Amino acid sequence: MTMGGKVFYSGVVILILNILLVSALPGVPHQFYGSVEVNNQPVPDNTVIVATVDGDEYSTVTTSGRYGYSPNIFYVEDPDGDRSGKTISFNIGGMEVGTYEFVNNGYTELEFSLTTDCGDDYCLGDETCTSCPEDCGVCTGLPVITIFSPVEGNAYDSTKIDVEVTANQDILVWMYSLNGGYPITFTPDIVLTADEGNNTLTVLAINNVYQTGSKTVSFSVDSQLNCGDGIKNNEEECDTSDFGGSSCASYGFNAGSLSCTANCTIETNACYNSGSTDTGNDDGGGSSGSSRRHSSGGGFIVQTADEEDECSPEWVCSEWSDCTDNLQKRACVDNNKCDTEEAKPAEQRDCEIVKGEVIFDDEDLYTNKPSEESDTGIAEDEKKSGLDAITGFVAANPVATGAGSFVVLIVILGLLLFLSRKIK
């Protein structure tokens, strides 16, 4: 075999190993979603679904008879990377409704259709501790919630707010609603992103007999509270001479210096690219005109004074930031300093982490977006099943992660066989 053939085979072997490693993805959670009916009717909102594996419980609630849809994506986690192949048990209102095998990076639709009557020991449908205490238990009173943070009436200098809560009872599911938004399930304690200005946070807690308590606090955010103290804090881009490690290079320039405004935002007016200068005309003659030069591909492009009105912006953007709070940001500057916003690329975009990858929204065009994507972030042709028939438990048919990797491996091996004959 030639040296080129050996190099080729080495590269392919590395590729195959990467595919096999990715197919396992230990530690990646398994996502579930679907619908729930009781007595042929969608279950009431906030019906609790509990998934149990290795003694750990993961809970979510229903909305309009569905669960696991954005923003309340339902994950069963794999904190130690050892749950692949283990059995997950599902419970709704005390009723064991089925099991499913844990798959790292799994995306599975499970639909539940249940039948119940008061007196069958299962608190389901319209049953409550008031209407059917024999199934739902004796009413204990609504949970009393204490919110330690944020503090009622406080003003904060960052939109990142710690949420610290507790209750006087055992709680099955915690939820919060910020500024009247959709209730989102969470596990205390968390950090959320509030808005500048006034905010209202409502925390809800569902107890073991499915009673819901709530507590609301109001607070405000002013990220400029500490602007001017010389220390870059929280939402500030800079403060006096503290730029938090940023420089002109952070904005696509290779020379110059940043400046900080009175509002603690960064100005790049004094940044430039070396090789971009204003001189007399190109041949050193005495023309009253001037020319602008800027480096491009290692050479120079000369723009005469007569062409100044035709200045075309040359936008240079930094890399996108990590997807944080469903948002990515970057900075874009015009190397030609045309003093225009024409054709300026977007500097922020919506994003979502799905299947371990960042899926972003840029003018309704998505990268890595599966076809016919639902609001679970799952393509219709990727919905998973394979569950044996269980009464009242239906699963859609998914493509198993391992099977997909096996097909890819077969294709690569076939390609290797073909190319090996060519190399020989």
Instruction: Retrieve residue 73's tokens.
Output: 């994506």
The residue-averaged pLDDT of 137-145 equals 94
Judgement on whether residues 298 and 338 belong to the same structural domain of the protein: yes
- Average pLDDT score over the chain: 77
Task: Give the percent of the chain with pLDDT over 70.
Answer: 69
Q: Where does a domain end: 221, 254, 289?
A: 221
- pLDDT band, very low/low/confident/very high, at 422 (cuts 50, 70, 90): low
- pLDDT band, very low/low/confident/very high, at 345 (cuts 50, 70, 90): confident
| Tokens 């309009």 -> residue | 64
- pLDDT band, very low/low/confident/very high, at 152 (cuts 50, 70, 90): very high
Please report how many Cα atoms fall inside a 13 Å half-sphere around the Cα of residue 91, on the Cβ side.
15
| Residue 408: predicted pLDDT | 55
How remote is the C-alpha of 80 from its chain's centroid?
22
Nearest of 153, 197, 143, 129 to residue 174 by alpha carbon: 143
| Residue 228: predicted pLDDT | 87
- Quote the CA–CA distance of 8 and 11 in Å, as a whole number: 5
Q: Which amino acid belongs to residue 279?
A: T
Judgement on whether residues 9 and 109 belong to the same structural domain of the protein: yes
pLDDT tens readout for residues 263-313:
889 999 999 988 644 433 444 443 333 333 232 233 333 333 344 456 888
Judgement on whether residues 41 and 121 belong to the same structural domain of the protein: yes
How remote is the C-alpha of 254 from its chain's centroid?
33
Angle at 33 between CA 29 and CA 34, to 5 degrees: 160
In a domain, 49, yes or no: yes
Q: Is 160 exposed, middle or buried (0-12, 13-18, 19+ CB in 10 A)?
A: middle
- Quote the CA–CA distance of 245 and 203 in Å, as a whole number: 37
Nearest of 58, 49, 92, 97 to residue 78 by alpha carbon: 58
| Residue 301: predicted pLDDT | 32
CB burial of 358-374 (b: ≥16 within 10 Å; e: otherwise) equals: ebbeeeeeeeeebeeee
Judgement on whether residues 59 and 118 belong to the same structural domain of the protein: yes
In a domain, 304, yes or no: yes
Q: Supply the CATH number for residue 39's domain.
A: 2.60.40.10
**CB count in 10 Å sphere of residue 215:** 17
| Residue 349: predicted pLDDT | 85
- Quote the CA–CA distance of 124 and 91 in Å, as a whole number: 11
Judgement on whether residues 205 and 294 belong to the same structural domain of the protein: no
Judgement on whether residues 340 and 388 belong to the same structural domain of the protein: no
| Residue 383: predicted pLDDT | 39
In a domain, 340, yes or no: yes
| Residue 223: predicted pLDDT | 76
Judgement on whether residues 83 and 149 belong to the same structural domain of the protein: no
Quick check: pTM over 0.75?
no
Judgement on whether residues 21 and 90 belong to the same structural domain of the protein: yes
H helix or E strand, kind and range, residue 400: none
pLDDT tens readout for residues 85-100:
999 999 998 899 999 9
In a domain, 258, yes or no: no
- pLDDT band, very low/low/confident/very high, at 206 (cuts 50, 70, 90): very high
Question: What is the maximal distance between C-alpha atoms in the chain?
Answer: 102
- Quote the CA–CA distance of 331 and 267 in Å, as a whole number: 11
Phi/psi of residue 408, each to 5°? -60, -40
How remote is the C-alpha of 27 from its chain's centroid?
17
| DSSP structural state of residue 322 | P
Range of the domain at 325: 277-367
| DSSP structural state of residue 186 | E
| Residue 67: predicted pLDDT | 96
The residue-averaged pLDDT of 205-225 equals 91
- Quote the CA–CA distance of 271 and 384 in Å, as a whole number: 52
pLDDT at 407 over 80: no
In a domain, 261, yes or no: no
Question: Mapping DSSP to helix (H, G, I), strand (E, B) and coil, where does residue 88 land?
Answer: strand
| Residue 404: predicted pLDDT | 47
291-296 sheet: strands from edge to edge: 277-279, 291-296, 299-304
Under 8 Å between Cβ of 148 and 164: yes
Judgement on whether residues 58 and 6 belong to the same structural domain of the protein: yes
Judgement on whether residues 59 and 96 belong to the same structural domain of the protein: yes
Lowest mean pLDDT among 50-59, 286-295, 316-325, 402-411: 286-295
- Quote the CA–CA distance of 424 and 417 in Å, as a whole number: 11
**Which tops the pLDDT comparison, 374 or 57?**
57
**Which tops the pLDDT comparison, 363 or 330?**
330
Give Cβ neighbours of residue 360 (< 8 Å, ≥ 6 apart): 320, 323, 328, 349, 350, 351, 352, 366, 367
Q: Is 75 exposed, middle or buried (0-12, 13-18, 19+ CB in 10 A)?
A: middle
Q: Where are the alpha helices (DSSP H) in 48-178?
A: 133-136
pLDDT tens readout for residues 303-329:
333 444 568 888 788 777 778 878 888
Q: Where does a domain end: 221, 236, 256?
A: 221
| Residue 420: predicted pLDDT | 63
In a domain, 373, yes or no: no
- Quote the CA–CA distance of 11 and 238 in Å, as a whole number: 46
**Which tops the pLDDT comparison, 292 or 222?**
222
**Which tops the pLDDT comparison, 368 or 100?**
100
| DSSP structural state of residue 106 | -
In the chain, the number of structural domains is: 3
Nearest of 45, 220, 212 to residue 150 by alpha carbon: 220
In a domain, 305, yes or no: yes
Judgement on whether residues 334 and 403 belong to the same structural domain of the protein: no
H helix or E strand, kind and range, residue 386: none
Question: Mapping DSSP to helix (H, G, I), strand (E, B) and coil, where does residue 135 land?
Answer: helix
| Residue 374: predicted pLDDT | 45
In a domain, 234, yes or no: no
| Residue 406: predicted pLDDT | 53
Judgement on whether residues 310 and 190 belong to the same structural domain of the protein: no
Nearest of 357, 389, 385 to residue 370 by alpha carbon: 357
22-31, 199-208, 406-415: which is most confident: 199-208
| Residue 314: predicted pLDDT | 82
